[in-house]
Chains A and B, each alone.
Chain A
């Protein structure tokens, strides 16, 4: 046993602060990277594209985690923010001919700006009432995309998104796009993980736990709430833009109100208040969706296919039932299980 004895015995602060503390951590981390970058070699078509979708969802999910899990600003407009980023990047590449890699950060910043405009309402609004401005944000985005800027976005006809090209290298296959998404997801994930350990992240947690106490302690809560909105929506915008340029065609139908709910619901299934929770949430959501898409037509055949009723209802019912079961039996999410597992691993031979 090269690792540390059971339990956590850090002797230096740098050791305590490190994300990767032990040799086992480093080994697992490197193995994970090797796995991540070789896995597209063995996967084909459908599963690979599922991986890409999981990656883009995960980036958006980090944003929800920062807003809901860390700062407790309940957002029911995240699909709108994701869509906003997607549209910014689509318009920039379509009309101004920008390279995707310049449009991507702009998509993030555009969504962050939109989020901050919505976030100004946090000056007085809080708690459950935050549903009002955020759900408004979703519908105002729909209105902007479908009516106000119809000349450019073509309304419900949708808009084409160019394939990303970097130095003449086009990310035009699933195989290539997977690496792009994988690298960006890892970078954004590590950034989120570090963000919540900084001053800003601790301020977020303080606001979540008790905003008045936080204010008394000298935290400028309005500024930090706005910052949470900006960062959360920056992630949403990046996720949306990456997704848009993968499917290469978007309209507002792709960002339904149901998705805004799923972002929060699956975040709770994944686990509130940890970056790992967002990771689990995205994976669980997309794999469940894929499973439903796979099973529903088969069930429809067996049950005699009453005009596609089964296909259209299966998704809703399965998502609802699975989420309910999770909330009832595991209200602290998959991440909590993961923590328990790590705990018992750390103490391995003993079970105290």
Chain B
């Protein structure tokens, strides 16, 4: 039983990280209808920026975090301004592949600037102790991850529901041309979206870096982020959380109980097998909108 609970906890931890990475995909899709395939690269660049200010430049902690936020926001703005704005009105597939190229670009850049060696966050972030309840250990960073990711999600949903610019995003998602006619500046909406997206990846990057260290392998988490967003439904924040937890727990359980029978590779493959069958049952994801179409 203890093993089960322990596996469950590690599954929830990794699931939350997938869910956070998926939020960046969902927020972009909600506002711009572009499937964001860049989470791998954005997660990498955010993690390395956070690391750079904290460890490489040895800024004091608050300054380092503010600097990382500023740099991430700048990157988000730049992505929208330089690459995606010219593609407004072009076929959607072009934008999607473009986001994918952003992934490769940042993956290459992190190689170029920081090399392939794994990096670690300082001890106050990465070396948090493990809290024991009875015999079950829960890493403290995970508790923080649960708290902060819940707060982030609530804040995001509130932003979309109650603020003017959130409303503008929802309108833009519905119909670009109509929203332009209504006097919404869609370029500003799009750049806001991308800034929020990169900031979300910065939050994710702090937790991922604390749990697993920073290396180029992080972009695999980005791939899972895309998958989780699709599985949860592209329009839904709660869906992303549910799907992230499902995938995380499935992975942990399979890793704990089935690797002996099915081999180590099943850990990475099980979510994909699950998803393949999911696409028959709920092709729009858990909580995604099933669009009723007409000719």
Give A residues with C-beta under 8 Å from B: 68, 74, 118, 120-121, 123-126, 128-129, 131-133, 135-137, 139-140, 142-143, 146-148, 150, 210, 212-213, 216, 257-258, 261, 264-265, 268, 272, 306-307, 309-310, 312-317, 319-321, 323-324, 327-329, 331
Which 7 A-B residue pairings sit nearest by Cβ, starting from the closest?
A316-B108, A313-B111, A147-B263, A320-B105, A317-B108, A143-B269, A136-B272
Cβ–Cβ < 8 Å partners of A120 in chain B: 280
In contact, A126 and B283 (Cβ under 8 angstroms): yes
**Given known A-B contacts A121-B280, A129-B230, A131-B35, A314 and B101 have beta carbons under 8 A apart:** no
- Nearest CB in chain B to that of A211: its residue: B293
- Nearest CB in chain A to that of B281: its residue: A124
Asked if B285 is an interface residue, CB under 8 A from chain A, the answer is yes
| Contacts A121-B276, A272-B93, A331-B87 supplied; 8 other A-B pairs, CB < 8 Å | A121-B283, A124-B280, A143-B265, A216-B295, A261-B97, A313-B111, A314-B108, A319-B104
- Nearest CB in chain B to that of A124: its residue: B283
In contact, B293 and A135 (Cβ under 8 angstroms): no
Q: Most chain-A Cβ atoms within 10 A of its Cβ — which of B87, B112, B280, B285? A: B112
Cβ–Cβ < 8 Å partners of B275 in chain A: 132-133, 136
Contact sample, A vs B, 8 pairs, CB 8 Å cutoff: A124-B283, A128-B230, A131-B226, A140-B269, A306-B115, A309-B116, A317-B109, A324-B98
Cβ–Cβ < 8 Å partners of A320 in chain B: 101-102, 104-105, 108
- Nearest CB in chain A to that of B91: its residue: A331
In contact, A264 and B115 (Cβ under 8 angstroms): no
In contact, B87 and A327 (Cβ under 8 angstroms): yes
In contact, A317 and B105 (Cβ under 8 angstroms): yes
Cβ–Cβ < 8 Å partners of A131 in chain B: 35, 226, 230
- Nearest CB in chain A to that of B274: its residue: A136
In contact, B276 and A118 (Cβ under 8 angstroms): yes
Measured CB to CB, the closest approach of chain B to A266, in angstroms, equals 9
**Given known A-B contacts A147-B262, A212-B294, A317-B112, A327 and B276 have beta carbons under 8 A apart:** no
In contact, A146 and B265 (Cβ under 8 angstroms): yes
Cβ–Cβ < 8 Å partners of B111 in chain A: 309, 312-313, 316
Give Cα A315 to B231, complex, Å.
31
Interface size bucket, B side?
A: 35 or more
Give Cα A260 to B19, complex, Å.
24
Measured CB to CB, the closest approach of chain A to B199, in angstroms, equals 22
Cβ–Cβ < 8 Å partners of A321 in chain B: 101, 105
Asked if B227 is an interface residue, CB under 8 A from chain A, the answer is yes
Interface string of B237-263 (1 = CB under 8 A from A): 000000000000000000000000011
* Contact residues of B between 112 and 153, Cβ < 8 Å to A: 112, 115-116
Asked if B14 is an interface residue, CB under 8 A from chain A, the answer is no
Give Cα A124 to B285, complex, Å.
12
Measured CB to CB, the closest approach of chain B to A67, in angstroms, equals 12
Give Cα A329 to B280, complex, Å.
38
Cβ–Cβ < 8 Å partners of B265 in chain A: 142-143, 146-147
In contact, A310 and B112 (Cβ under 8 angstroms): yes
**Given known A-B contacts A147-B262, A331-B91, A331-B94, A324 and B280 have beta carbons under 8 A apart:** no
Asked if B86 is an interface residue, CB under 8 A from chain A, the answer is yes
In contact, A135 and B94 (Cβ under 8 angstroms): no
Give which listed residue, B94, B100, B279, contacts A124 with CB less than 8 A: B279
- Nearest CB in chain B to that of A333: its residue: B94
In contact, A142 and B115 (Cβ under 8 angstroms): no
Give Cα A289 to B263, complex, Å.
35
Interface string of B83-101 (1 = CB under 8 A from A): 1001100110110111011
- Nearest CB in chain B to that of A213: its residue: B295
Cβ–Cβ < 8 Å partners of B295 in chain A: 210, 212-213, 216
Cβ–Cβ < 8 Å partners of A306 in chain B: 115
* Contact residues of B between 24 and 67, Cβ < 8 Å to A: 35, 37
Cβ–Cβ < 8 Å partners of A142 in chain B: 265, 268-269
Give Cα A129 to B35, complex, Å.
10
Cβ–Cβ < 8 Å partners of A264 in chain B: 93, 97
Give B residues with C-beta under 8 Å from A: 35, 37, 83, 86-87, 90-91, 93-94, 96-98, 100-102, 104-105, 107-109, 111-112, 115-116, 223, 226-227, 230-231, 234, 262-266, 268-269, 272-273, 275-276, 278-280, 283-285, 293-295
Cβ–Cβ < 8 Å partners of A118 in chain B: 276
**Given known A-B contacts A126-B283, A132-B230, A327 and B94 have beta carbons under 8 A apart:** yes
Give Cα A310 to B83, complex, Å.
24
Give Cα A125 to B275, complex, Å.
12
Cβ–Cβ < 8 Å partners of A133 in chain B: 275-276, 279
Cβ–Cβ < 8 Å partners of A265 in chain B: 97, 100-101
Q: Most chain-A Cβ atoms within 10 A of its Cβ — which of B116, B223, B279, B284? A: B279
Cβ–Cβ < 8 Å partners of A317 in chain B: 104-105, 108-109, 112
- Nearest CB in chain B to that of A77: its residue: B272
In contact, A74 and B93 (Cβ under 8 angstroms): yes
Cβ–Cβ < 8 Å partners of A315 in chain B: 108
Cβ–Cβ < 8 Å partners of B83 in chain A: 324, 328
Q: Most chain-A Cβ atoms within 10 A of its Cβ — which of B83, B93, B227, B273? A: B93
Measured CB to CB, the closest approach of chain A to B95, in angstroms, equals 8
Cβ–Cβ < 8 Å partners of B35 in chain A: 128, 131
Give Cα A317 to B275, complex, Å.
31
Measured CB to CB, the closest approach of chain A to B60, in angstroms, equals 29
Give Cα A135 to B279, complex, Å.
12
Give Cα A265 to B104, complex, Å.
12
Give Cα A119 to B234, complex, Å.
21
In contact, B98 and A147 (Cβ under 8 angstroms): no
In contact, B116 and A132 (Cβ under 8 angstroms): no
In contact, A121 and B268 (Cβ under 8 angstroms): no
Q: Most chain-B Cβ atoms within 10 A of its Cβ — which of A131, A132, A272? A: A132
